[in-house]
Homo-oligomer: A and B are copies of this chain.
């Protein structure tokens, strides 16, 4: 049994809790929260909730700590600190800061001789793996990553900060004609606007100026100005009924050439279509937690990413079973 701790109990933490139940070689042993443990209700009978500061007393009870904090401020502090005590997995997703995060976490994990797996999920994570495999197989080629259709938390937050907006949700939508152009092997150069559109569902406050709200959203720099954006005003009831989920997904496509004169085209396409972004991310994290436990038990240590994990380590099955059933 691999004994798991969950550090931070939001959407992702709850997803991890559910995913652990789907893996019979894993067991949730503790949840750590910054909130008052008495106020945190979890879904696993018999498992206690502790304050985050109690984690250090439980190093002998937890094989892998899954850190479910946010990338902006939580993980840059939490992952290096916890890697001094535990094997850890995080889902750090600020792509530009991954090298810096890696170095800090690696130093901590080398010192403690633990495994610290960072940036696990689907992007970074499974999408990164597919960019790596695709580029290694087809060196003469081009990578394309499309996101959606799915809810962007950051863009939904941006909408809700606009004056006169009561609530809102934003979907990132890949442009079908751009996808088709990529799949054709034509290796098109695509602008930001050509790749994705942004679809907003907005609940306006009573008496708010809708034209002004729409204008402000569509021209918001960084978030919307570079995209074709549509704004739909709906009621709070409609928003709750039809836009309550957190779906997401996307595509990683490698388009490359082979042959004596590069005369043959090949398309490798990896697609995700997810009902729940945090639950899928949690499911990826949990199988990499299995790998972290195995790598640690074999004496490895330091910071690792999805690129460093032999795929067989992710599965509960033996090497012989995998070769017989899946190869």
Contact = CB atoms under 8 A, between A and B. Distances in A.
Interface string A1-38: 00000000000000100110011000000000000000
Please tell me how many copies of the chain the complex holds: 2
A305 B323 contact: yes
B307 A280 contact: no
A272 interface: yes
B276 A259 contact: yes
Contacts of A128: 326-327
B270 A270 contact: yes
A264 interface: yes
Interface in A264-279: 264-276, 279
Contacts of A270: 268-271
Give the residue among A183, A276, A282, A307 with the most B Cβ atoms within 10 A: A307
Interface stretch (A65-73, A161-169, A312-320): A312-320
Interface of A: 15, 18-19, 22-23, 43, 95, 98-99, 102, 119, 124, 126, 128-129, 131-133, 135-140, 183, 258-260, 264-276, 279-280, 282-284, 287, 290, 305-312, 314-316, 319-320, 322-324, 326-327
